[in-house]
Amino acid sequence: MSSARVVVGVSGGVDSSVAALRLVESGESVAGLFMQNWSDDGSGECRAEDDRRDAVAVCGRLGIPFHFRDFSAEYWSGVFEHFLAEYAAGRTPNPDVLCNREVKFKHFLDAARELDAEKIATGHYARIDQADGQWRLLRAVDRNKDQSYFLHQLGQAQLSATLFPVGELHKDALRGIARDAGLPTHDKKDSTGICFIGERDFREFLGRYLPARPGEMRTPDGQRIGEHPGVFYFTLGQREGLQIGGVRGRPAAPWYVVGKDVEDNVLYVDQDTRSPWLLSTRLWSEPAHWCAGAAPAREFECTAQTRYRQADEPCRVAVGDDGRLCVEFPQPQRAVTPGQSVVLYQGDVCLGGAVIERTDAPFGHAATTGKAA
């Protein structure tokens, strides 16, 4: 057992390293715990062992105990199987949201409590405070690094037991703190993309689990202009990887994915980055999760993000009897994507969010029904 009051999720990256450092410097009793969430699949791309060595080195430098837990089975069943099912259905899931809910703030929290800890801490860029008896999830001070979008599924139980020690820092300052403290991760490159894919080609990776299913690429008016390897390899608004050459009668301009018909295996593309086929003013979601435990009202105005790092967009929200949302925007939104999350804010306070089911874009139903709206 650990005598530490706080267990920090040490990932082997600079953010979690500084989170642990700040807790130690504040006088907290701290231990580190490294989570292995993905088993090496034989491709040689898994960085877990390198990250684990870095996490051990950080804990050694700080003089705190190191613990290890393998959550790869839980990750597979709680995150990755859902990831594959969503892509097979033509949607674009966000595994980071599920990983936070199912692994980092569930199994990790349970593991910390087994070590007799009172709190957990991570290197996420977000903040937590308390107002009117409620714990609140807040955006980070560094809005460019804010990760509250990925944390919107946290509730009162998780927020009350969590610390975000780097939420007040800007990234440049954080790296300076790590360098001055001699942390071995101070100049380590930030991880990007989906954690279990790493530096690999996304289509090649997904093709191991969802075999290629070639089909037609068409314009919205039905002109066949090429072939795709599988509609599930693409997401709305995507430009890269379409491999469309010159098309007779069409300008030499980039093409964008504007719709996916899973039923008929057709990928729809257009050449206008603001194509009307990509624009929507209304979305409908799965039942929402609220950080406070309940919606602020049946109808209310706030701001929303439908993708990470998107600028805030004013909206009006209506909450149905079944918990599903209808979110209406005064300005058309580009490439709002089923499977992604709509996350709602009042200023810096994250209210919660939900998975997007469909929109009123012309192909807003296509990922699930195969028909244009």
Walk me through the domains of the chain, giving residue ranges and CATH numbers. Answer: 6-180 (3.40.50.620), 210-270 (2.30.30.280), 276-369 (2.40.30.10)
Helix or strand (DSSP H, E) at 88: helix 81-88
Of 40-54, 84-98, 231-245, 247-261, give the lowest mean pLDDT range: 40-54
Tokens of 23: 């807790």
Tokens of 160: 């009350």
Q: What mean pLDDT comes out for the span 329-354?
A: 97
Confidence of residue 44 (pLDDT cuts 50, 70, 90): very low
* Residues belonging to the active site: 99, 195
Ranges of beta strands (E only) in the chain are 6-9, 30-36, 66-70, 119-121, 126-131, 134-139, 162-163, 215-218, 224-228, 256-261, 266-270, 279-285, 289-290, 299-305, 313-319, 325-334, 341-346, 349-359
Confidence of residue 202 (pLDDT cuts 50, 70, 90): confident
Residue 194 CA to residue 207 CA, distance in Å, equals 15
Q: What is the mean pLDDT of the chain?
A: 91
User: Per-residue pLDDT tens for 285-301?
Assistant: 999 999 999 999 999 99
Confidence of residue 11 (pLDDT cuts 50, 70, 90): very high
pLDDT value of position 81: 93
Q: What mean pLDDT comes out for the span 17-35?
A: 97
Amino acid at 305: Q
Q: What mean pLDDT comes out for the span 320-334?
A: 98
Residue holding tokens 């149905």?
320
Confidence of residue 369 (pLDDT cuts 50, 70, 90): very low
For the chain, give the percent of residues with pLDDT over 70. Answer: 92
